Chain A
Amino acid sequence: GNSVTQMEGPVTLSEEAFLTINCTYTATGYPSLFWYVQYPGEGLQLLLKATKADDKGSNKGFEATYRKETTSFHLEKGSVQVSDSAVYFCALSARGYSTLTFGKGTMLLVSP
């Protein structure tokens, strides 16, 4: 079946530090990949997506590259801000299916 594995949190960084949150997946065929973010007290927001191998999704300074050979979709940001503190979820939808399979989420805490 389909599954997503994320690094466990919390990830604690100082402002302006470099961020990487690892995500690997198992799926039949070539899924679409997503990162969602959940700020405290709010719903899930789509952060970025990639639909095929070597695609790079980007938004608000965050980037992730679809790596077929390593079945990975790691989230990166060059310089985090306190306002980036949230829970980040990696997710996939298998080719031809629209339902999402999520990882457990990684909490990011950024201190000034």
Chain B
Amino acid sequence: DTGVSQDPRHKITKRGQNVTFRCDPISEHNRLYWYRQTLGQGPEFLTYFQNEAQLEKSRLLSDRFSAERPKGSFSTLEIQRTEQGDSAMYLCASSLASSEAYEQYFGPGTRLTVT
């Protein structure tokens, strides 16, 4: 399977703990995106990378959130001092910068539950 993969698929953590998620994009895709989806809502953009450069961050991305893509391949999203409001599905997507419409291909998501 050459699609986008995410790990872990589910994470339960206690309030105040740090968590880290990983995303592996489609191999030839140079853009990688992170979104957050809460119940009954559409995904909301968090941040994206082109190769290893982080090009845009949403105002939704508080300073407790940090994302990296160190070698332009996989990416990690870390949440420090988790809060109950961080409970959501975290989605990763990838695309080709050269594609006409930047169509994005999504991974299965990581469901975070903060207790």
CB distance from A39 to the nearest CB of B (A): 11
Chain A residues near B104: list those with CB within 8 A.
46, 98, 100
CB neighbours of A42 from chain B (8 A): 108
Chain A binder among B40-48, B63-71, B72-80: B40-48
**How distant is the Cα of A98 from the Cα of B33 in the complex, in angstroms?**
9
Whether A105 and B41, one on each chain, are in contact in the complex, defined by CB atoms closer than 8 angstroms, is yes
| A contact face: mostly helix, strand, loop, or mixed | strand
Contact of A99 among B48, B100, B103, B106 (CB under 8 A): B48
Judging by beta carbons under 8 Å apart, are A93 and B42 in contact? no
Which residues of B (44-63) have their CB < 8 Å from a CB of A? 44-45, 48, 56
- The answer, among A4, A43, A89, A98, for a CB contact under 8 Å with B102, is A98
Count of interface residues, chain B, beta-carbon cutoff 8 Å: 26
A85 to chain B, nearest CB (A): 17
* Contact (A100, B101) CB under 8 Å given A43-B91, A45-B106: no
The reply to whether the CB of B25 lies closer than 8 angstroms to some CB of chain A is no
Candidate in B4, B40, B106 with the most chain A CB atoms within 10 angstroms: B106
| Interface contacts beyond A43-B106, A46-B105, A100-B45: sample of 13 additional A-B pairs, CB < 8 Å, sorted by A | A43-B107, A44-B43, A44-B93, A44-B106, A49-B101, A51-B101, A98-B33, A100-B43, A101-B45, A102-B43, A103-B42, A105-B40, A105-B42
Residues of B within 8 A of A (CB): 4, 31, 33, 35, 40-45, 48, 56, 91, 93, 95, 97, 100-109
